[in-house]
Amino acid sequence: MAEPSDDTPVDLFVIGGGINGTGIARDAAGRGLSVTLAEMNDLASATSSASTKLFHGGLRYLEYFEVNLVRKALIERETLLRAMPHISWPMRFVLPYHPDMRFEGETPTSKLLNTVMPWMKGRRPAWLIRLGLFMYDHLGGREILPGTRTVDLKTDPVGAPLEDRFETAYEYSDCWIEDSRLVVLNARDAEQRGASILTRTKVLSAERDEGGWKVRLSNRDGGEERTVRARALVNAGGPWVGDIIRNTVHTQSKEGVRLVRGSHIVTRKLFDHDKSYFFQGTDGRIIFAIPYETDFTLIGTTDADHPDPSQKPECTPEERDYLIGFANSYLKRDITKDDVVWTYSGVRPLYNDGSKSATAATRDYVLKIDDAGGAPLLNVFGGKITTYRKLAEGAMAELAPFFDGMKGDWTARVPLPGGDFPVEGVDRLIADLKRDYPFLDDFWAKRLIRAYGTDANAILHDAKTAGDMGEAFGATLTAREIAWLMDNEYARTADDVAWRRSKLGLRLSAEQMKTLDAWMTARRDAAPKAAE
With a cut of 70, say whether residue 526 has pLDDT above it. Answer: yes
Q: Is 392 helix (H, G, I), strand (E, B) or coil?
A: helix
Band of the pLDDT at 516, cuts 50, 70, 90?
Answer: very high
Average pLDDT, the chain: 91
pLDDT (0 to 100) of residue 227:
96
Instruction: Supply φ then ψ for residue 261, to 5 degrees.
Output: -85, 130
pLDDT (0 to 100) of residue 318:
97
Residue range 88-106: mean pLDDT, rounded: 83
How far is 35 from 308, CA to CA, in rounded Å? 30
With a cut of 80, say whether residue 119 has pLDDT above it. Answer: no
Residue range 199-214, pLDDT digits in tens: 999 999 999 998 899 9
**Start-to-end Cα distance in the chain:** 17
How many other C-beta atoms are found inside a 10 Å radius of the C-beta of residue 178? 21
Instruction: Supply φ then ψ for residue 349, to 5 degrees.
Output: -85, 80
CB 479 within 8 A of CB 470: yes
Indicate the residue type of 463. A
Q: Is the dihedral of CA 450, 451, 453, 459 positive or negative?
A: negative
pLDDT (0 to 100) of residue 255:
82
Query: Is 3.50.50.60 the CATH classification of the domain at 10-47+180-255+363-402?
Result: yes
Residue range 396-414: mean pLDDT, rounded: 96
Q: Which residues pair with 366 in a beta bridge?
A: 381
The fraction of the chain above a pLDDT of 90, given in percent, is 77
Q: Are strands 54-55 and 35-38 parallel, antiparallel or unpaired?
A: unpaired
With a cut of 90, say whether residue 364 has pLDDT above it. Answer: no
Q: Which fold has domain 423-531?
A: Helicase, Ruva Protein; domain 3 (1.10.8)
Residue range 451-504, pLDDT digits in tens: 999 999 999 999 999 999 999 999 999 999 999 999 999 999 999 999 999 999
pLDDT (0 to 100) of residue 25:
98
Q: Is 309 helix (H, G, I), strand (E, B) or coil?
A: coil
How far is 242 from 349, CA to CA, in rounded Å? 10
Residue range 272-282: mean pLDDT, rounded: 94
Q: Which residues pair with 298 in a beta bridge?
A: 266, 290
Residue range 345-364: mean pLDDT, rounded: 78
pLDDT (0 to 100) of residue 104:
63
Indicate the pTM of the whole model.
0.93
Residue range 340-349: mean pLDDT, rounded: 96
Q: Which residues pair with 367 in a beta bridge?
A: 380
Residue range 49-73: mean pLDDT, rounded: 87
Q: Is 275 helix (H, G, I), strand (E, B) or coil?
A: coil
pLDDT (0 to 100) of residue 450:
98
Q: Is the peptide bond before 301 cis (omega within 30 degrees of 0)?
A: yes
Q: Is 14 helix (H, G, I), strand (E, B) or coil?
A: strand
Q: Where do runs of H (alpha helix) occur along 120-221?
A: 126-138, 179-192
Q: How far is CA 459 from each of CA 439, 448, 454, 477, 479, rounded to the nearest angstrom?
A: 14, 9, 10, 12, 10
CB 506 within 8 A of CB 342: yes
Q: How far is CA 260 from each of CA 397, 411, 492, rounded to the nearest angstrom?
A: 28, 30, 29
CB 330 within 8 A of CB 287: no
Residue range 525-530: mean pLDDT, rounded: 70
Give the residue among 52, 94, 97 at the shortest CA–CA distance from 275. Answer: 94
Residue range 288-330, pLDDT digits in tens: 999 999 999 999 999 999 988 889 999 999 999 999 999 999 9
- Residues near 358 by Cβ (< 8 Å), separated by ≥ 6? 258, 260, 303, 304, 305, 350
Exposure letters 182-212 (e unless 16+ CB within 10 A, then b): bbbbbbbbbbebebbbbbbbbbeebebeeeb
Task: Give the DSSP letter string of 35-87.
Answer: EEEE-SSSTT-SGGGSS--EE---GGGGGGT-HHHHHHHHHHHHHHHHH-TTT
CA-CA-CA-CA torsion for 486, 492, 496, 502, nearest 10 degrees?
Answer: 20
How far is 276 from 286, CA to CA, in rounded Å? 13
How far is 48 from 530, CA to CA, in rounded Å? 34
Select, from the ranges 4-8, 95-99, 138-142, 314-318, the one with the highest average predicted confidence (pLDDT). Answer: 314-318
Task: Give the DSSP letter string of 434-489.
Answer: HHH-TT--HHHHHHHHHHHGGGHHHHHTT--SGGGG--EEETTEEHHHHHHHHHHS
Q: 55-69, 74-88, 467-481: which range is least confident on average? A: 55-69
With a cut of 50, say whether residue 10 has pLDDT above it. Answer: yes
With a cut of 60, say whether residue 31 has pLDDT above it. Answer: yes
With a cut of 80, say whether residue 365 has pLDDT above it. Answer: yes
Residue range 264-279: mean pLDDT, rounded: 97
Residue range 179-207: mean pLDDT, rounded: 98
The domains of the chain are located at 10-47+180-255+363-402, 89-176+258-351, 423-531
How far is 293 from 12, CA to CA, in rounded Å? 37
Indicate the residue type of 1. M
With a cut of 80, say whether residue 413 has pLDDT above it. Answer: yes
Give the residue among 517, 217, 198, 472 at the shortest CA–CA distance from 525. Answer: 517
pLDDT (0 to 100) of residue 123:
62
How far is 327 from 413, CA to CA, in rounded Å? 36
How far is 73 from 66, CA to CA, in rounded Å? 11
CB 198 within 8 A of CB 39: yes
Q: Is 199 helix (H, G, I), strand (E, B) or coil?
A: coil
Q: Which fold has domain 89-176+258-351?
A: D-Amino Acid Oxidase; Chain A, domain 2 (3.30.9)
